[in-house]
């Protein structure tokens, strides 16, 4: 047997285990009884320890090395698989077991403290925990290694081919135009504010509409499903098993609907990955920035479009009679309403990236040692004022709002903006295809999905994100399409 074949066998075996853990994780968010949590935590810890053993076993390491030696570079997919396995393996083996255990324990305590701190809006409760998480992030970065600064090593865990300098060069120039655009969009919305009727929107009827829409954009319900949770997400539990989740507000059906379009975007990418390569890089998403490009594509470029609602508003009004008096223009003005808000996860498309730019800037400074943990609340408020023109009323609405730092997720936030940027560039390129464009204008999105399948999904992790975008669109990654899209939509 060639070493690569054995390597793939081992990787698929590991995928059986990690995907089993994903089922348990999904169940924990959806259906696990309250008192079952402690045992579930033990199950997941056990499975994750076994997965780590497999990912760092002597046989795995030796087989990977042998496959690398045997590889003549002729097969780009094989080379990409080996490249990604090497990346993952190095990251897994470079962290001492002691550090992994300490990080996990520190993070558990940090999450608890963060929840309490946010509830009481008292940064002092979280302060020491955040300090410990920052130290751990730096330690990890030192073990992983980096070319220029520790933050590079953290970013590399979420976005292949990216580092601090590249993210800075992509995001920093957005600062002024986005600030200006957001301010104008907010001012325009304030001139003619439109509210949607506040219901009733029964959850069961929302569920029905969401399902019709998810089906119409191509989500395969024979290979996936939608369940109800507190914090929506999308997770792939195996080839042909993609689970979306949502929640329902009975006074606002658009919250769940846009949420489902967002998660369905993640799910469509998942369903478009080559199923036979499940467990191999060639069958896995390449990065969070690409994953988020697919969710934002369906949420914003599709779900925010006039053509989409020309088709779906009549259906929604048939299901929710309170919508009947509303014209399409007013409906669009309502769902596209731009407003400054303190909370990132509630932000609209026009103001969302300002939240990311703030966090990216703070993280970069924290990791460079330029910003002490004690100074974060003040720095948050200063940065927020510069971008939004006002200061959050308290830290719960400021630096305590996101769980990411309590989880040690430094380097993650920027991928949200990369997703927005990539979504716009991919969508603009796809619409240059007259078939895709004509279909989109009639709210038929299967040609658009076909384009994404062909140019993005089916490649898995073969190409780095920038290269994938370049191959798909024929142009270097750029923020031009994104700014143009926001201007068209909001100004």
**Closest by alpha carbon to 475, among 436, 429, 417, 433?**
429
Q: Which of 35, 58, 192, 231 binds a second copy (CB under 8 A)?
A: 35
Q: Which of 225, 249, 306, 470 binds a second copy (CB under 8 A)?
A: 225
Shortest separation between residue 363's beta carbon and a second copy, angstroms? 35
Q: Which of 2, 5, 36, 135 binds a second copy (CB under 8 A)?
A: 36
Shortest separation between residue 252's beta carbon and a second copy, angstroms? 23
What residues from 432 to 491 belong to the interface with a second copy (CB under 8 A)?
A: none
Shortest separation between residue 152's beta carbon and a second copy, angstroms? 36
- Contact status, residue 405 vs residue 130, Cβ threshold 8 Å: yes
Shortest separation between residue 227's beta carbon and a second copy, angstroms? 7
- Token pair, residue 150, equals 């520790």
Q: Is 272 in the site for a second copy (CB under 8 A)?
A: no
Report the C-alpha gap between 391 and 404 in whole angstroms. Answer: 21
Residue window 41-60: x/- pattern of binding to a second copy, with contact defined by CB under 8 A: -xx--xx-------------
Q: Is 1 in the site for a second copy (CB under 8 A)?
A: no
What residues from 310 to 329 belong to the interface with a second copy (CB under 8 A)?
A: none
* In 95-171, alpha helices (H): 97-120, 123-144, 150-155, 164-171
Q: Is 159 in the site for a second copy (CB under 8 A)?
A: no
Q: Is 222 in the site for a second copy (CB under 8 A)?
A: yes
What residues from 4 to 33 belong to the interface with a second copy (CB under 8 A)?
A: 13, 16-17, 19-21, 23-24, 27, 31-33
Number of residues that bind a second copy (CB under 8 A): 36
Tokens 């002490």 belong to residue: 372
* Strand positions, DSSP E, 262-305: none
Residues noted as catalytic: 263
Segment near a second copy (CB under 8 A); pick from 80-88, 224-232, 262-270, 410-418: 224-232
Shortest separation between residue 279's beta carbon and a second copy, angstroms? 10
Phi, then psi, of 437 in degrees rounded to 5? -65, -45
- DSSP strand pairing (234-238 vs 241-246): antiparallel
Q: Is 238 in the site for a second copy (CB under 8 A)?
A: yes
Report how far apart, in Å, the C-alpha atoms of 120 and of each of 82, 114, 127, 308, 491 are. Answer: 48, 10, 13, 42, 39
Phi, then psi, of 163 in degrees rounded to 5? -145, 180
Angle, helices 352-368/123-144, rounded to nearest 10 degrees? 70
Shortest separation between residue 283's beta carbon and a second copy, angstroms? 12
Please name the residues in contact with 280: beta carbons below 8 A apart, sequence gap of 6 or more: 8, 11, 12, 81, 460
Contacts to a second copy by CB under 8 A? 13, 16-17, 19-21, 23-24, 27, 31-36, 38-40, 42-43, 46-47, 220-225, 227, 237-242, 278
């Amino acid at each position: 047997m060639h070493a690569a074949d054995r390597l793939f066998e081992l990787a698929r075996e590991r995928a059986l285990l990690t995907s089993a853990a994903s089922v348990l994780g999904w169940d924990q968010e959806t259906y696990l009884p309250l008192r079952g949590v402690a045992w579930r935590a033990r199950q997941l810890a056990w499975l994750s320890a076994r997965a780590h053993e497999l990912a760092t076993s002597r046989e795995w390491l030796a087989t990977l090395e042998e496959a690398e030696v045997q590889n003549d570079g002729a097969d780009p997919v094989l080379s990409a698989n080996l490249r990604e396995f090497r990346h993952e393996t190095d990251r897994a083996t470079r962290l001492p077991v002691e550090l992994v255990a300490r990080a996990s324990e520190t993070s558990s305590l940090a999450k608890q403290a963060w929840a309490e701190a946010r509830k009481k809006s008292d940064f002092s409760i979280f302060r020491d925990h955040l300090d410990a998480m920052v130290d751990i992030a730096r330690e990890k970065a030192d073990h992983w290694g980096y070319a220029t600064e520790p933050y590079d090593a953290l970013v590399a865990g979420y976005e292949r081919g990216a580092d601090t300098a590249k993210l800075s060069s992509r995001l920093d120039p957005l600062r002024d135009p986005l600030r200006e655009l957001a301010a104008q969009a907010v001012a325009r919305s304030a001139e003619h504010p439109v509210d949607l009727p506040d219901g009733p929107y029964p959850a069961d009827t929302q569920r029905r509409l969401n399902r019709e829409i998810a089906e119409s954009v191509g989500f395969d319900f024979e290979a996936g499903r939608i369940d109800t949770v507190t914090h929506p997400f999308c997770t792939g539990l195996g080839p042909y098993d993609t689970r979306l989740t949502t929640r329902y507000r009975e006074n606002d059906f658009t919250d769940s609907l846009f949420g489902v379009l967002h998660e369905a975007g993640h799910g469509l990418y998942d369903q478009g990955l080559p199923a036979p390569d499940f467990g191999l890089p060639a069958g896995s998403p390449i990065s969070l920035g690409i994953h988020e490009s697919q969710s934002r594509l369906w949420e914003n470029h599709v779900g925010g479009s006039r053509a989409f609602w020309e088709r779906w508003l009549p259906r929604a009004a048939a299901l929710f009679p309170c919508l009947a008096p509303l014209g399409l223009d007013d409906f669009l003005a309502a769902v596209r309403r731009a407003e400054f808000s303190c909370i990132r996860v509630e932000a609209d498309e026009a103001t969302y990236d300002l939240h990311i730019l703030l966090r990216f800037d703070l993280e970069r400074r924290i990791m460079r040692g330029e910003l002490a943990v004690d100074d974060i609340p003040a720095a948050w408020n200063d940065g927020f004022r510069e971008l939004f023109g006002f200061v959050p009323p308290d830290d719960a609405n400021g630096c305590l709002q996101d769980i990411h730092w309590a989880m040690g997720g430094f380097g993650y936030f920027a991928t949200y903006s990369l997703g927005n940027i990539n979504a716009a560039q991919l969508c603009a390129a796809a619409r240059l295809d007259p078939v895709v464009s004509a279909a989109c204008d009639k709210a038929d999105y299967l040609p658009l999905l076909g384009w994404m399948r062909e140019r993005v999904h089916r490649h898995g992790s073969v190409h780095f994100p920038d290269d994938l975008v370049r191959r798909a669109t024929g142009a270097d990654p750029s923020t031009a399409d994104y700014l143009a899209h926001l201007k068209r939509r909001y100004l």
